[in-house]
Structure formats: C-alpha cells, structure tokens
Structure 1
Amino acid sequence: MRILFLSYWGLHDGLTTSTVFPHLRVLQNRADVSAVRLVTIERGPDAKTELNFDLGSSADKISFEPLRSKPSGNVILNKIEDFTRFPQELIRQAAEFKPDFILARGAPAGALAYLVWQKTKLPFYVESFEPHAAYMLESGVWRAYDPRYLFQRHWEKRQKQLAKGLMPVAENYRQQLIREGVPASRIVTVPCSVDAQAFAFDATAAQRVRQRLGYPASAVVGIYVGKFGDIYYDQEAFDLFRAAADYFGPDFRLIVLTPNNEADVRRKLQAVGLGPDQAFVTKAPHAEVPHYLSASDFAFSPIRPAPCRLFCSAIKIGEYWASGLPVLVTPGVGDDSAIIEAERGGAVFDLRQPGSVPAALARLAALMQQPDYRARIHELAVRHRSLTRVQEAYKQLLP
C-alpha cells in the first residue's frame, strides 16, 4: 500500500508529535505498506521556513511534503484560500506520489480529503474523526452563521457518507454515528493513543525535576499540560488551581506546561495568589513532558463541558494515566469521565454543582494515599489508550 497521510496540524505542533508520529510508526512497521507521504499544514513562521522531518532511521518508508498557508489578516479569508488551493495541491501530490488512498487525521483534514475525492475519486479514511464544527460552535469560537462552521458541518456530513472508514476517538461517538445511519462495519473506535512505556513514571526524573524546581519531596504537585481558553477553561482553571492550593495547604506546588503566553499565565496565577515559589510555567518540548509528569502527583484536565465533548478524546488524559497520575476532569469528556469514575482514574468535578471541587479533591487525596496508585492508573493507559487499538483499527479498515 501507498498512503498519503494528511495531518491538519503543522510538523512542529505538539499534536503532530503526540498523535501523528506514533501512527506513522505503526504504518512503517506494516509489511504491506510500501510508502507513506506525510502532508502537514504549516501556518505562521513555519509556512515560510525550510522544515526538516526526522522520524529516525527506522522510518525509511516515510517522506514529507507540507502544504503552506499564505498569511492573511482575515482568518476567514485565509481559511477560504486554504480550502480552495490545498485540494489542488493535494491532487498534484497524489498524481506524483500515486497513493492508494488518503488517511486524514481529524475532520478538518477529512474535509480536504473529501474535496480531493470530489475531483479524483481517490478513496479516503478519516481517523480522529470528531464533530469539529459542533466543537467550535459550542466553544463559542465559531458562530452559527460563520462560513467556516457551515462548510465544515457540510463536509463532515459528506465524510460520514463517503469515507471508506471512520475512526472516532470515543465509543460514544461511534454509537452516535451508527444511530445516524453510518454502517457499523465502517467505524472503529480509536482513542488518542499514547506510548504508555515512554510516559511511565520515572523516579529518577521525578527527583531531578523536583530538585531543579526547588520542590521538596513532601510537596503535593499538581500539573496541567495544555492551553487555556477555547475548549478549555480559562479563568475557571486558575480558580481551580487556587482551590487545590487551599485544599492541600502550604505543601501544594503547581507545574503548568502551556503554549499560551508565559507572562500572561504567570500574571493570572499571581492574581489567584500562586507566585513563582509555588507555580512553575514553561512551554516544554513534548519529549520533556514525561519528566514533568513523573515529578507530579496528580493532573488537571479542565475541559469546558459541552454536549459534543462526549465525542472527544484528550491526548493529555492518556499521557497523565500513562504516568500513573489521577486526573481531575469535568463531566462528559469522551469516554474518559466515565472511565475515571468507574475505574478510579481520578475524580470528576462540575463547577455547576456547589461543593463539587473540594469533594473531587478529597477523592484525589484518597487515591494518592494508596501505595500502588501510580502502577494501577498506568494500567488504564495500557488498557484504554494503547497503540494496539490503532494497529487493530488499521487491520480491520484498511485494504
């Protein structure tokens, strides 16, 4: 097989590193795959610079050619230009590379794959298939009259009808797709997978990071990895950090790994009384994230509740679990909130319910008193987020 793998994110985006590269390695290891062409979408500075793709010497089947977005002061005009030009560029790449099909990562990439199908009838599959248009609408990022919402909603409908296979990230969404009439034989659930061993707890790294940050061994360390705003809480997240500090007392420390502006994040932390002696903020390379997770005791996942969140899969939760961290999460997040409650993988809080946060923190504290809690929670990542799920889905769906 020759596969054109289309990612909607850039080469240096954390989501590419954490979710695309592991899948490329799975394809590389298949004897029936002869070549893979990775296509990313580059925006901002990366759209103007030379990009070096390196997945290691063992990835000899994989080549790389990006699509480069042209800068524009108007984001809507920029996206319109992308979705008119990129399909033509992909058709050119397909004529050159001669893939058997396109494997698109995410519903926006699936939209581009569908637009190529319109012109060429090149088969396509969509993994990490989620209701992206609904996400953006319910998050307040798009409005119901926004052309991006209207087009994406239509393109998702066409993906459901025409894709050779869909790989939603939550079983909740697979069931919804079946109710909508998509044949069950064309759908396999593949949660955002993690390399559980790469993220496993490392006592040496934990001690090294704590010493560097000046955090004592007795400190109770919470960690948050990700953005603020959009589908995540913003000010509410900082209030949550404050609540954790109040609950755990003077021993509480916080690590925040975020792409958001560091000065702005520090200012918001300071506003809730968490200064640099208690809270560390940085933008860490993905390879360093496991070290910070090992240095922590529990993790935050403050995803803003919305009806379509039932259909998502946060990569950070899988990484947290792989490190053995119980997760403080909102209700209705993919399959994970239910797993957390049923299998003691953390605690669920609901800001709409008075007293929910301290009750959830108490459950976390009780979990952390169990001597084997990290090893037990690590097994949740092995069971629910293993790359084996990817391998099985590819075997079932791909030709």
Structure 2
Amino acid sequence: MRILFLGYWGLYDGLTTSTIFPHLRLLQAREDVDAIRLVTIERDTQAPTPLQFTPDFEANKISFQPLCSRPSSNVLLNKIEDFTRFPAELIKQVAEFKPDFLLARGAPAGALAYLVWQKTKLPFYVESFEPHADYMLESGVWRPYDPRYLFQRHWEKRQKQLARGLMPVAENYRRQLVAEGVPADRIATVPCSVDAHSFTFDLGARQRVRQRLGFGAGDIVGIYVGKFGGIYYDEEAFAVFRAAADHFGPSFRLILLTPDSQAEIQTKLQASGLTLGQTFITKAPHAEVPNYLSAADFAFATIKPAPCRLFCSAIKIGEYWANGLPVLLPPGIGDDSMIAEQEGGGAVFDLAKPASLKVALEQLTTLLAPADYRQRIKQLAVKHRSVARAREAYDALLRPS
C-alpha cells in the first residue's frame, strides 16, 4: 500500500509530534505498506524541508512534502485561501505519488481529503475524527454565521457519508455516529495514543527539575500543559489554580507549559493572587514535557465543557496519566471524565457548581496519598491510550483500492 498521510499542523507542532509520529511508526512497520508521504501544513514562510525524522523512521519508506500557507494577518482569509488552494496542490501530489488512499488526521484535514475525493475519487480515511465545527461553535471561537463553521460542518457531513473509514477518538462519538447511520463496520474508536514508555515517571528528572526551579522536595506541584482561551478555560483556569493554591496551602507550586505570552500569563497569575515565586512558566519542546510532568504531583486539564466535548480525547490527559498524574478536569470531557471518576484517574469539578471544586480537590488529595499512586494511574494510559488501539483499527479498516 502507498499512503498519503495528511496532517493539519506544522511539522514541528507538538500535535504532529505527539499524535501523528506514533502512527507513522505503526504504518512503516507494516509489511503491506510500501511507501508513505507525510503532508503537513506550514504556517511560516520557510517550510521545514528536508524533513528531519528521528532515527526510528525509515527514510526509504517515508517522504515529506509540505503545503505552505501564505502569510496573512486575516485568519478568516487565510483559512479560506487554504481550502481553495490546497486541494489543487494535493491533487498534484496524488498524481505524482500515486497513493492507494489518503489518511487524514482530524476533521479539518478530512475536509481537504473530501475535496480531493471530489475531483479524483481517491478513497480516504479520517482518524481522530471529531465534530470540529461544533467544538469551535460551542467554545465561542466561531459564530453560527461564520463561513468556517458553515463549510466545516458541511464537510464533516460529507466525511461521514463518503470516508472509507472513520476513527473517532471517543466511544461516546462512535455510538453517536452509529446512531446517525454511519455503518458500524466503517468505524473504529482510537483515543489519542500516548507512548507510555516515553512519558514514564523519572525520579531523577523530578529531582533535577525541582532543584532548578527552586521547588522543595515536599512541595505539592500542579502542572498545566497547553493554551488558554478558545476551547480551553482562560480566566476561569486561573481561578482553578488559585483554588488549588488555597487548598494545598503554602507548599503549592504551579508549572505552566504554554506557548502563550509569558507576560500575559504572569498578569493573569498576579490577578488571581498567585505569586511569581509559586509559579514557573515556559514553552517547552515536546521532548522535555515528561521531565516537567515527573516534577509534578498532579495535573490540570481545564477544557471548557460543551455538549460536543463528550466526543473528544485530549492528548494531554493521556500524557498526564502515562506519567502517573491524577487529573483535575471538568465533566463531560470525552470518555476521560468518566474514567477519572470510575477508575481513579483524577477528580471532576463543575464550575457551574462552585462547591464541586472544593470536593474535587479533597478527592485529589486522597488520590495522592498512596505511595504507589503513580504506578496505578499509569495503567490507565496503558489501558485506554495505548497505540495498540490504532494498530487494531488499521488492521480492521485499511485496505488498498
């Protein structure tokens, strides 16, 4: 098989590293896969070519060809230009590479795959399939009349109808798709996979990072990885951080790994009453994230609840669990909120019910008490986020034309 693998992020974006690369490793290991072309969307003027794969990628099996977005200060015009120009560029790649099918990562990439199908009838699959348009609407990022919402919603409908296979990230969404009439044999649930070995707790890293940051061995450290705003809480997240500081007292410390402006984050921390001495903010490469997780005791996943959030699978939660960290999170976040409640993977709070945050923090304290809590929680990542789920889905769905 020859596979054109289409991502929707840049080559060096953390989402590409954490969600696409593990699946490329699975695909290159298959004897029936002859060649893979990875296509990413680069938002910078200089595309990162040639592709610098890590040593476990086979250069003779995997090639790389980016789609380069033209810089624009207008996000809407930029996105429209992407979806009018990129299909034609992908069609040229199809003619050159001659894939058996296109495998798209995420519903926005799936939209491009569908637009290519319109012209070429090249079969396509969509993994990490989620109702992206409704996510953005319910999070307040898009409006009902926004062309991005209207087009993306239509394209998702066509993906459900025409994709040879869909790989939603949550069982909740698999059931919803079946209820909508998508044949069950065209669906396989694949939660966002995590390499549990790469994210394993490291005592040495814990000691080194804490010493470097000036955190004591007995401090209670919470960590958050990701952005603020959009589909994530913004000011509300800092209120949650403050509640944790109040709960744990003077020994509480906070690590924030975020691409957001440090100056803006510091302003929000100070407004919430957290001091600079209690916190550390940086933008860390994905390879360094496990070290920071090892330095922490628990993690935050401040994702905005919304009806469609039941259908998501946050990669950060899988990474937290792989490191043995219990997670403080809102209700209705994919399958994970239920797993946290039923299997001890964390504690759930609902900002619509202010008293629930205090209860969740008390539950979190209980989870942190056993000496072996990290080993137990790591098993949740092994059970629910193993890359083996993707291997099984590929075995069941992928086939040449």
TM-score bracket relative to the smaller structure = over 0.9
Tell me by how many angstroms 1:48 deviates: 2.7
Question: Which residue number corresponds to residue 334 of structure 1?
Answer: 334
State the SS of the aligned residue for 1:167.
strand
Q: CA contact under 8 A between 2:4 and 2:103: conserved in structure 1?
A: yes
Query: Which residues in structure 2 correspond to 1:1-399 (within 5 Å)?
Result: 1-43=1-43, 46-60=44-58, 61-399=61-399
Distance in 2 between residues matched to 1:49 and 1:305, nearest whole Å: 36
State the SS of the aligned residue for 1:325.
coil
Distance in 2 between residues matched to 1:73 and 1:290, nearest whole Å: 34
State the SS of the aligned residue for 1:47.
coil
Tell me by how many angstroms 1:388 deviates: 0.4
- Flag structure 2 segments of 5+ consecutive residues without an equivalent: none
- Flag structure 1 segments of 5+ consecutive residues without an equivalent: none
Distance in 2 between residues matched to 1:311 and 1:52, nearest whole Å: 36
Deviations 1:258-300 (A, max 9, x none): 0111111011111222222100000000000000000000000
Distance in 1 between residues matched to 2:33 and 2:48, nearest whole Å: 28
Equivalent residue letter for 2:262: E
Distance in 2 between residues matched to 1:153 and 1:282, nearest whole Å: 35
Q: CA contact under 8 A between 1:21 and 1:55: conserved in structure 2?
A: no
Distance in 2 between residues matched to 1:180 and 1:356, nearest whole Å: 34
Q: CA contact under 8 A between 1:326 and 1:345: conserved in structure 2?
A: yes
State the SS of the aligned residue for 1:277.
helix
1:345 and 1:202, CA in 2 relative to 1: closer, same or farther beyond 3 A? same
Tell me by how many angstroms 1:72 deviates: 2.2
1:215 and 1:52, CA in 2 relative to 1: closer, same or farther beyond 3 A? farther
Deviations 1:22-48 (A, max 9, x none): 1111111111111100000111xx233
Distance in 1 between residues matched to 2:284 and 2:55, nearest whole Å: 25
Distance in 2 between residues matched to 1:214 and 1:57, nearest whole Å: 35
State the SS of the aligned residue for 1:224.
strand
Q: Normalising by the residue count of structure 2, what TM-score does the alignment of the two structures yield?
A: 0.98
Deviations 1:152-205 (A, max 9, x none): 000000000000000000000000000000000000000000000110110000
Q: CA contact under 8 A between 1:9 and 1:40: conserved in structure 2?
A: yes
Equivalent residue letter for 2:278: Q
Distance in 1 between residues matched to 2:202 and 2:49, nearest whole Å: 32
Distance in 2 between residues matched to 1:364 and 1:94, nearest whole Å: 51
Q: CA contact under 8 A between 1:36 and 1:63: conserved in structure 2?
A: yes
Distance in 1 between residues matched to 2:48 and 2:380, nearest whole Å: 40
Deviations 1:285-343 (A, max 9, x none): 00000000000000000111100000000000000000000000000000000000000
Distance in 2 between residues matched to 1:270 and 1:69, nearest whole Å: 37
State the SS of the aligned residue for 2:328.
strand
Tell me whether 224-233 or 267-276 shows the greater mean CA deviation: 267-276
Tell me by how many angstroms 1:49 deviates: 4.1
| Percentage of pairs with the same residue | 73
Equivalent residue letter for 1:191: P
Q: Normalising by the residue count of structure 1, what TM-score does the alignment of the two structures yield?
A: 0.98
Distance in 2 between residues matched to 1:52 and 1:258, nearest whole Å: 27
What's the RMSD between the two structures over aligned residues? 0.9
Distance in 1 between residues matched to 2:45 and 2:30, nearest whole Å: 31
Distance in 2 between residues matched to 1:287 and 1:331, nearest whole Å: 29
Tell me by how many angstroms 1:73 deviates: 2.9
Query: Number of paired residues?
Result: 397
State the SS of the aligned residue for 2:260.
coil
